[in-house]
Structures are given as C-alpha cells and as structure tokens.
Structure 1
C-alpha cells in the first residue's frame, strides 16, 4: 500500500503518521507514506496557492493550478492515475466497509483542502472519491486523511502483529467490540467476569458475542439493522430488557 498525500502541511502528515504501528509498518516496507507539498507547484513568485473567490464571499479558495501541478507530477511518476480521495463534508461518510474496499488498492492519493475549499474545476478533473469523516467542519483535510490512512493500514496484511485482531474488533459484523480485561483479576473491588477465567473457550466466545450484541443495542442500535443475527440471538436480546 502506497499513500500519497497532497497537502500544504507535509510535516503535519508525516510526523503524525510515522509513529507507533503505522511508522513501524513503513519501516518494514509494508506500506509507504509520501506527503507532496502543493505549494511547491505554485507558479507565483510569492508561492501563493490561494486567491479571493469569484462572486465574492468570505475567505480564500485554493487555486486549481498548483493542485493540478502536484497531481500531474505524481501521476507522471507513477505512470497511472490512482484513486484520488478529496476530504470534504460533502462526501460519502467513511466507515469500516469503505476502509476494506480501499485497502485493496495499491496506491491511494489524498487531497487535503484548506481555507474555503479548492477551485471546483481541478476537483472535477482529478477526484474519484469524495469522502467525509462526519457532519462537521475542520480547518483542513490533513486530520481526516491521517485517520483514514491509520484505519486502512490496519487492514494491510502484516501491519498488525496479530492480523486476526483487525477482523475481530469494533464493527466486525456491524457489531461493537466486547469488553476487554487484563491483570489484575480484581481492581478497586471490580472483578474480571468469571467466564473469562474459566478456560472454556466455547463459553468465552458465547459471552463475548452476547456482550457485543448488548453494547451495540445500547450504544449504536442503528448498526443492528445491518448485523447478521440468528433468531436465537434476537430472542436473547429481547429478554435483556
């Protein structure tokens, strides 16, 4: 997996991603992260990349030329036009299913806007996917890009020490993850559930599944509509009040 981030703040992207699990994965050659400074492709002697919007209005708009220049240089280098994701509140909401889909790609390009956005013409010419993290506005696309890269990278084989954990976490089967415990067995009067100490793997898996069902119903009931539950599980949930 090769990530290419078109941004005005490359140091923000690289310093944020080249740590912990993602940083170690890059060191192992499991993925690569490249931050391309859009400002490097400005033809203005002052390296400006923004201007006032036509028609008036508050704020500034990123110009088409430097964005397209950065994009064209990248595609020339790669010899192809990979998927380009533009981070915007107007896009499709990012979720685990989209992460799985994007993890199948070899190259992903992220375009990070700033100010009041980017000239529409260059978006029409380059963007393949408009993606949002949610119904709110941030100062730029760098943080959403980093969130997406972190999430997608966890699905790349070898990135996690235990690849199984990538599948059996929150949102697996559209269910939230069950509670987790570790030593000591008792903390400030609170004990680890007995079933987890039993060594009976069948009972443990059943308990974990039930806890996932309860958590999802209580915190994210909307996810249950997409989850695949057996008739027995639906009946069990109804009995929990």
Structure 2
C-alpha cells in the first residue's frame, strides 16, 4: 500500500513513520508513506496557499488550486482508490473503516485540513471520502492523518510479527479487548486469573469473551448496543460497576 499525505506543515509528520511498526512495514516494502508540501504547488512567488474567506469571518481558507495541482500530479503517476480529507465534520473513523481501506485500496491520498479548512469546491469535485478522528478540533489534520495511516497499515498482512495480533485488538469484533497479564504470576498481592494458567484453550477463549463483554458493557455502552444489534442471538446480561 502507498499512502500520500498532503500537508501545509509536512515536518510534523517526520517522526510517526520513522519508528516502530510503521518503519518496519516500510522496510519490508509492505507499505510506503510519502508526505508532500502543499506550498510547493502554489501559483504565486510567495508560495501562498490560503486566503480570506468570502462573506467575512475569522480565519483563513486553503485555496483550491494548490490542492488540485498536487493531487493532479500524483494521479499522473498512479490510480488512487480514495482521496481522503481529514476534517472534524467527516465520518468518525473506526476499526471497520481501517479494515476496509487496508483491504480495498492500494493507493490512498490523505489531505490534511488546516486553518478554517479548504475551499468547498475541492471537497465537492475531488475528495472521495471525509474522515474525522473524533468530536474535537486540532490545529491541523497531520496528527489525524498519521492516526489513520497507522491504523490502516498495521492490519496489512505481514506487518505485525504475529498475524493473529491485529485480529484480537479492541473493536475488531465489535467489543473491547479483555484484560491481559504477563510475568510475574503474583504482583503486589494480585495474581493472574487461574484460568489463564490452565492451558485449556477453549475455556480461556470463553473467559476472554466474557471479560470482553463485561468491559464493553461497563466502559462503552454505545458499542455494546451496536454489538447486540449485530448479534441478535446474544442475550444481554447485567454487569455492575466496580466501586
């Protein structure tokens, strides 16, 4: 997979793709991320990419031409399945969207919002999908773009050392992940649940599902409601919060 990120401040993205899992994915040639400086595509000698909004009001708006010029150049080299704009009013990003993008796309463009946003005509004519990472506003879309890229790349086949790891993450089955434990067996008077030491895989799987259900009911009732809708055969159980 190739991801091209278009940004007004590209240096903000130097670090996220130079370490850990994303770097290893690049080293294995499983993914590549390229960051493009939008100012290089401006049509003026001062590399200006923004201007005042029509109709008055505070804040600047990114002009259409620099965005069009950049995306047009990229499309001359390859086909893109999605041109994504990171914006607070987009659809809220989740694991299902990440899975879909990783399966259905080879090449993605992610445009980072900035200032008061981009000229609406670009959104109408060029953007194929608009994504938000939550109901809050950031200074720009760079961090949001890095989050989307990370979530998409990590589920590509071969990226994680353990192929089953991503499948047991929170949200993959609509539930939060269960508690996990490691050595030592006893720590500050607390012990690892006996079931995890039993070696009985089917019973361990049952315990993990039960704990996932409990955690989801307590912490994310919205997710639990969606899970019940998707699994009508599941009976709801009452779970008390710990004091």
Fold match, TM over 0.5?
yes
Q: Name the residue aligned to 1:142.
A: 142
1:98 aligns with 2:97: yes
TM-aligned CA distance change 1:81 to 1:99, over 3 Å:
closer
Secondary structure, in 3 states, of the residue corresponding to 2:16?
helix
Distance 1:10 1:82 in 2: 23
Q: Deviation of residue 12 (structure 1)? A: 1.7
The Cα of 1:215 is off from its aligned counterpart by 0.3
Is this contact kept in 2: 1:14–1:33, CA < 8 A? Answer: no
Indicate the residue corresponding to 2:186 in structure 1: 186
CA shift, 1:139, in A, is 0.7
Q: Could you list the structure 1 runs, at least 4 aligned residues long, displaced by more than 3 angstroms after superposition.
A: 228-231
Q: How does 1:194-209 map to 2 (within 5 A)?
A: 194-209=194-209
Gaps of 5+ in 1: none
CA contact (8 A) 1:93 1:133 kept: yes
For 1:70 and 1:35, locate their aligned partners in 2 and report how far apart those are by CA, in whole Å. Answer: 11
Q: TM-score, normalised by structure 2?
A: 0.93
Q: Residue deviations 1:77-117, cap 9 Å, x none?
A: 22x34310001111111111111111120011100011111
Deviations 1:125-177 (A, max 9, x none): 21000111111111111111110111111110001111111111101221110
Partner Cα separation in structure 2 for residue 163 and residue 112 of structure 1: 31
| TM-score normalised over the length of structure 1 | 0.93
Q: Is the 8 A contact 2:88 2:133 kept in 1?
A: yes
1:43-82, aligned counterparts within 5 Å?
A: 43-78=43-78, 80-82=79-81
Structure 2 counterpart SS, 1:84: strand
* Preserved CA contact (<8 Å) 1:83 1:107: yes
3-state DSSP of counterpart to 1:226: helix
**CA 1:182–1:39 in structure 2 vs 1: closer, same or farther (change >3 Å)?**
same
2:88 equivalent in structure 1:
89
Alignment of 1:1-241 (within 5 A): 1-78=1-78, 80-104=79-103, 105-227=105-227, 234=235, 237-238=237-238, 240-241=239-240
Q: How many residues align?
A: 237
RMSD of aligned C-alpha atoms? 1.5
Note if contact 1:64-1:121 (Cα within 8 Å) is conserved in structure 2. yes
User: What is the distance in 1 between the residues matched to 2:80 and 2:30?
Assistant: 21
Distance (whole Å) between structure 2 residues aligned to residue 39 and residue 157 of structure 1: 35
Name the CA distance, whole Å, in 2 between partners of 1:230 and 1:119. 44
Partners in 1 of 2:100 and 2:120 — Cα distance? 26
Rounded to whole Å, the distance in 1 between the matches of 2:187 and 2:231 is 34
- Partner secondary structure for residue 98 of structure 2: helix
C-alpha distance in 2, partners of 1:174/1:22? 25
Q: Distance in 2 between matches of 1:44 and 1:22?
A: 35
